[in-house]
Structure 1
Amino acid sequence: MKIILASTSVYRRELLGRLGLEFECLAPEVDESMFSELPLAPADLASRLAQEKARAVAANRPEAIVIGADQVVELAGKTLGKPGDQEKARQQLRMLAGKTHCLHTAVTVWMAGAEYSLINETRLRMRPLDDGEIYRYVTLDDPIHCAGSYMVERAGISLFDEVETSDFTSITGLPLLGLSGVLRSLGVAIP
């Protein structure tokens, strides 16, 4: 059966590629801003966005297994979205510096009208940062399209003191431990 990753993320593509599967990537046509206005808890928002991305691609490719994923950063019960520009990224990093926050990574696998969803929660403690460090980091990685304004798969890992998770791959966008289990249960051969 054909597998489609409902994402244009290079990092998600690389992660799914680790499983040795043949798949294609398609951009989901989902207006994420529409969902950020809904009164959803951060984890529920991540799950809803993953679900909507999978559904959007599955609507045009019903014969395939479709994988949708999304991440939402939560600080003190509030959602931090993608900053969109470098100034907002610096503002987000100032808020996160010296604090622990949660990264909710959700996945929905769609197959033949059925959906299988999972979510991984990662707790990250960002070390205290001064404005010089924040400026240098944002200039280096330009994390304007990343929830929380950091990229742990790049220099962003240096911003943290501690990371607690049951699946380290979830931090970069796709929890492979849980996803592998779902795909195997659907009959996909994974080594």
Structure 2
Amino acid sequence: MSRIVLASTSPFRRALLDRLGLAYEAVAPAFDEIAPEGLPPAACARLFAEGKALSLAPARPDALIIGADQALELDGELLRKPATLDEAADQLGRLAGRVHALHTAVAVHAPPGVPPAPGVERGLMTEIATVELRVRPLGRAQIRRYIELDRPIGSAGGYLFEKRGPWLFDDVRHADETAIVGLPLVPLCRLLRRFGVDPLDA
């Protein structure tokens, strides 16, 4: 089995990957999240997930590298990840009482020596999981209280579902909750199997 590298030091993504029981190394990607103007949100998530995985490939030539990223879409608009608590509060205010889409991309890059499954030609494969979420109506005091509790700087939409975020929602439409947190495990397992990683095989 190839060495596995997670191109992230996020404790939330690490906690998810830990559930799969695989040995891996977590490394910060050498990648700047700069998207071309006008790029659709789902394509932005794909670009960043693949960029993170590819950024570590030269230094880890023998590893399967996992990259992941999220992009939030509201009425066709990409909402950038908030850099301050005020920006997070503003974003959550825009989402209150409305449905938005959260696109989570996961990419796996394989070294040249690892053959993919039959019929798979690329050494880099990506899947995108899209979740629809409805934020409940929220007053400014509720938003400010939530922001103070979870401090979701850098998190798409200004919330952290993996912490107190579930209090914010009326409805979530997706079968794989891990996609909301930032590393969709079912698509990831599917990609890893295509590169020969399956702990259930003897």
* TM-score of Structure 1 vs Structure 2, range by shorter chain: over 0.9
**Residue of structure 2 equivalent to 1:164:** 173
**Separation in 2, partners of 1:93, 1:170:** 19
Aligned partner letter, 1:50: A
**Residue of structure 2 equivalent to 1:18:** 19
**Residue of structure 1 equivalent to 2:126:** 117
Aligned partner letter, 1:95: R
Task: Say which of 167, 180, 198 aligns to 1:189.
Answer: 198
Q: Please give the TM-score of this superposition, normalised by the length of structure 2.
A: 0.91
**Residue of structure 2 equivalent to 1:141:** 150
Unaligned runs of 5+ in 2: 113-122
**Residue of structure 1 equivalent to 2:162:** 153
Deviation at 1:88, TM superposition (A): 0.7
**Separation in 1, partners of 2:108, 2:100:** 26
The alignment status of 1:65 with 2:64, answered yes or no, reads yes
Aligned residues: 189
Q: Please give the TM-score of this superposition, normalised by the length of structure 1.
A: 0.96
**Separation in 2, partners of 1:145, 1:135:** 16
**Residue of structure 2 equivalent to 1:38:** 37
**Separation in 2, partners of 1:119, 1:59:** 25
**Residue of structure 2 equivalent to 1:28:** 29
Deviations 1:70-96 (A, max 9, x none): 000000101112111111111001100
Report percent identity of matched pairs: 47
Moved over 3 A (4+): none
Unaligned runs of 5+ in 1: none
**Separation in 2, partners of 1:137, 1:59:** 41
**Separation in 2, partners of 1:140, 1:181:** 35
